[in-house]
Structure 1
């Protein structure tokens, strides 16, 4: 190993990791416990047999294993990935490269069949010959570096010296070295998924070539251990609620887990990172975010469907809580070759096969509350009944990365259907290609003109047709886990600063039968027109001045409004307002408008119920919440 020329000292504070002593890494000391032989990333040399032995214990594991092999047989006939960008991104190609190389390398290590080795080598050399890996959008470089690092490391002993040299040079010159260019490495100070993904990618590359480039590897790993907490502390404390929502949890957290798992295997330590506040609690966030319909509470820039998440298996094993896999187990038992589209799928077997799937029982708690930058309250009446009631409530701030103006918004599942929904994200390139200023989150940003992103498109309130306060913040103030009244409450006043004096919302599942949304509004010295909005995929029928009938798939739900104020029930189309907006078929808005006089207080109750019985609701101050 070369002598180090510059000593790099790294100090990780007690507050970052919750440890009694700070972690100190000096120079190449970070590599002192490096596993000398390859493979060293995630699955060490010789661990294949143990993995295969575990796979035989459950048909679900065997099913995933066989699907990977079948997919690799298909990949063999595909041409290598080409350097073709979509807009400003090469990310789709990087992700496909990671998918292919992770699965091909896994297939070779578990079967020894040279056809997988040869096809992976062809992919590795093709990628290594690219002019660059698109450092101007560094996520592309990060995922490509991880892809090449896994292939290089897992296949190392069966690649020629010349091939190894070519791949190693690509990792250095197209992967790691651009991360030291100030034009590209702003991710080091980011407090979101970019930090997690990019540091993970660079560290995989560094670990793969560490014996040949010890100074660069040590510097890169040390830098990651120093800067990754900037994202981890923001993203997970205090309860594990991930600020960027469902889809970005899977992205940022999965790569964070890949980082922790990789350094733990290769270096024998995770530098205390897994003890970062809230990190080991975050699997509960993802599990509770999915309703009985299998649809996620997809607030922010998020997708809707639940899918296999390898990281969940790491968490379940790490904290010894198999119940975290309740939803994942159901997905495993539904055989689907679509799982092979998950570029991290082999990691599920690496992390998960020690778990006894027969020990996976439903969670006990039916309410999960997380604070942080994007607080959420998640409630359900059952984990086992597909017709259970599920309510997800979102607070926080539009100023958070990938956030929408959706504070106070909610989704509702009941009778096996989603009645109150969220549009989720619009594909970025469809907006960027039209010149939309999508990443500016200030009050007057064009971002808030995008149809799906402002408060008018969410299940929340609006006053006088104005946008929410982009810098406002709301949290979950109180909640109840009492079975007869599962509830959360939030003060939305900051979101409507300058529009009303105060706005408070409480949402409750009562007696496991119906949902209550109560809004208490105080106006300032001017009157206001309030819009109460619901986005639904159901057919809407206005029955009378207080009742709406929702119907879908042969099922019905009543939306009943109760207030002393004069309201006008309305529907609004979800037709986009700009040519850059995505279409929103088979959806509509329903709700009401009410004129609230100056210096007054009005209360509004909305009930989601399948019964015509009369319901009453007390003021929020009398709700039994803590």
Structure 2
């Protein structure tokens, strides 16, 4: 079996370190810099690794293609206007991210070609941001990402910069990044929390502090030990299976900055203090891969784009190397081979493709603070049937009131969808108006509704049973605490059945009082309802939704469109069945049947209690 090769001896740590998991041990302020690599560059790649990368580009056609993508981006940045201080409402984040993108591409292009035009363009942008009045510490993500950008630029361009420019960049980094960073460690909530802010803020500050640790060691001496302690909070939430409560989009953001922090420590200090040995991170790469449907769209929950599609994830290269899982880097190579452009991080963390055939499970359950089950009919068929369902907590960072929400792909299209996030700049989007917004509350999600009410904010759900067999698979969720105002028990079953050619969504309620029960599904398809049957059409394909229970129930169609300032949701509909029932037991069962190319569709299946599944 071939193994992915690494860039040079320094990175062998990422391949050969023990995979036995233990608790990280934070260094002391007195000893943390004892192993500091004193020269530059020391962030992510040292001089020998840059030399090795240049050699590899000449001999590795795949790597050479990625290198050409980075050069093309760097050429564009050479003629782009110099960055300016422009906030969008409370955020400078778009400028920080643009600075990081430019610095990585331009710095890498200079180190690999020696062409001074790249260094000049990077320097001009770095000087511009260091002359800003601040890096917007009131929204500290902006400060952290800018610290990352300036730290990388200072380190990678160090040999080209004159001493006066180095001093200016150091002063800007200290004034706008390091000093606010020390203040943040003393008082900011990101230090103790367990979501993306933690990794981004810690990662950006660690990179910045290590860049200047030889001339201004006081910042790294204080920040690195604090970061090692702080980062353990979010890294624990990956356990046990690598899932992420904020959805796949924020999985990428959080995990990328985890990788930045750990890789910077490894290259500058020869250790990450055991952080990469925390067990959940060792499985994290499975999460975005499993949650990508055959359409290329992610299973969507929390504040992620409503049509969020699997994009480049260069952190998969680092994870593949660290945990000896070439299938993860091969999955990223496959995506890039489909026409997506590589970025600088693909070169930094590069793993050679193996093209080994990997047999992945059709069905996966992820446990943890968020629980997710995904099931599919095939991995290598863009027309495959796929369904995913989400449990966990409603009260989570970037969360929606969406416990039990499902999404479904078939025939190359997404039929049941989540609308995703709305504009973060809506009034009180993260405050007391959050649950008034259609995309965030229960009304837009593919979840049961009782009397048209939202799920309880403190609701939580668990996957109580999960089963995967050759011809079928199912997950059963207990949603009861999300519906305490109307029911003493609410269960949802989601299954692929009949040789994985149809999906069944079945809900069981024990109503505590008379209620209107609603079952709804959001879709881009056109809908033709007729009693208990509805025909959905899009892209020349067809799916039939049949109400199997209760008898006599009929479909209706409602618009999902909203008035400004909310997102319009133009052309999106809700397929709904509503009926009233007295207190007692109620069952809703809906069969979703694609019309396959052979003309067959699953017409009807027997309805059994979830206890008998």
TM-score bracket, normalised by the shorter chain, equals over 0.9
Secondary structure of the equivalent of 1:100? helix
Q: Aligned to 2:540, which of 554, 557, 565?
A: 554
How far has the Cα of 1:326 moved from its partner? 5.1
Structure 2 partner of 1:313? 317
- Are the counterparts in 2 of residues 394 and 408 from structure 1 also a CA contact under 8 Å? yes
Structure 1 partner of 2:589? 604
1:592 to 2:577 alignment: yes
Cα distance in 2 for partners of 1:326, 1:241 equals: 20
Greater shift in the superposed pair: 315-324 or 467-476: 315-324
- Are the counterparts in 2 of residues 60 and 332 from structure 1 also a CA contact under 8 Å? no
Cα distance in 1 for partners of 2:193, 2:107 equals: 32
Q: Aligned to 2:476, which of 474, 484, 489?
A: 489
Cα distance in 2 for partners of 1:37, 1:411 equals: 51
Secondary structure of the equivalent of 1:402? coil
Cα distance in 2 for partners of 1:119, 1:555 equals: 50
Cα distance in 2 for partners of 1:556, 1:198 equals: 47
- Listed one character per residue, the Cα deviations across residues 270-318 of structure 1 (whole Å, up to 9, x for unaligned) are 1110122311101001111111111111211012111111111111222
Structure 1 partner of 2:239? 237
Q: Aligned to 2:458, which of 461, 471, 481?
A: 471
Secondary structure of the equivalent of 1:293? coil
How far has the Cα of 1:603 moved from its partner? 4.3
Q: Aligned to 1:212, which of 215, 238, 243?
A: 215
Q: How does 1:172-251 map to 2 (within 5 A)?
A: 172-181=174-183, 185-234=188-237, 236-251=238-253
Secondary structure of the equivalent of 1:150? helix
Q: Aligned to 1:545, which of 503, 524, 531?
A: 531
Cα distance in 2 for partners of 1:21, 1:290 equals: 32
Cα distance in 2 for partners of 1:57, 1:535 equals: 50
Cα distance in 1 for partners of 2:197, 2:126 equals: 24
How far has the Cα of 1:356 moved from its partner? 2.4
Query: What RMSD in Å do the two structures reach over aligned CA positions?
Result: 1.7
Secondary structure of the equivalent of 1:221? helix
- Listed one character per residue, the Cα deviations across residues 525-544 of structure 1 (whole Å, up to 9, x for unaligned) are x21101100001111001x3
How far has the Cα of 1:608 moved from its partner? 3.0
- Listed one character per residue, the Cα deviations across residues 159-185 of structure 1 (whole Å, up to 9, x for unaligned) are 111111110111111101102225973
Summarize the Cα distance change of 1:603–1:579 in structure 2 as closer, same or farther, 3 Å threshold.
closer
- Listed one character per residue, the Cα deviations across residues 247-275 of structure 1 (whole Å, up to 9, x for unaligned) are 10110110011111110111111111012
- Are the counterparts in 1 of residues 501 and 594 from structure 2 also a CA contact under 8 Å? yes
- Listed one character per residue, the Cα deviations across residues 367-386 of structure 1 (whole Å, up to 9, x for unaligned) are 12112222111111111111
Structure 2 partner of 1:263? 265
- Are the counterparts in 2 of residues 437 and 446 from structure 1 also a CA contact under 8 Å? yes
Structure 1 partner of 2:14? none
- Are the counterparts in 2 of residues 324 and 363 from structure 1 also a CA contact under 8 Å? no
Cα distance in 1 for partners of 2:148, 2:451 equals: 50
- Are the counterparts in 1 of residues 22 and 278 from structure 2 also a CA contact under 8 Å? no
Greater shift in the superposed pair: 68-77 or 168-177: 68-77
Tell me the TM-score normalised to structure 2 length: 0.93
- Listed one character per residue, the Cα deviations across residues 472-501 of structure 1 (whole Å, up to 9, x for unaligned) are 100121111212121111011111012112
How far has the Cα of 1:362 moved from its partner? 4.1
Structure 1 partner of 2:418? 422
Structure 1 partner of 2:9? none
1:372 to 2:368 alignment: yes
Greater shift in the superposed pair: 603-612 or 145-154: 603-612
How far has the Cα of 1:157 moved from its partner? 1.4
- Are the counterparts in 2 of residues 566 and 594 from structure 1 also a CA contact under 8 Å? no
- Are the counterparts in 2 of residues 134 and 141 from structure 1 also a CA contact under 8 Å? yes
Structure 1 partner of 2:510? 522
Gaps of 5+ in 1: 1-16
- Listed one character per residue, the Cα deviations across residues 349-370 of structure 1 (whole Å, up to 9, x for unaligned) are 1212x322423x3442111211
Q: Aligned to 1:349, which of 333, 347, 350?
A: 347
1:574 to 2:572 alignment: no
How far has the Cα of 1:621 moved from its partner? 1.0
Structure 2 partner of 1:438? 429
Tell me the TM-score normalised to structure 1 length: 0.91
Secondary structure of the equivalent of 1:520? strand
Cα distance in 1 for partners of 2:260, 2:86 equals: 27
Summarize the Cα distance change of 1:469–1:250 in structure 2 as closer, same or farther, 3 Å threshold.
same
How far has the Cα of 1:118 moved from its partner? 1.3
Equivalent pairs counted in the alignment come to: 586
Cα distance in 2 for partners of 1:401, 1:106 equals: 35
Cα distance in 1 for partners of 2:21, 2:333 equals: 34
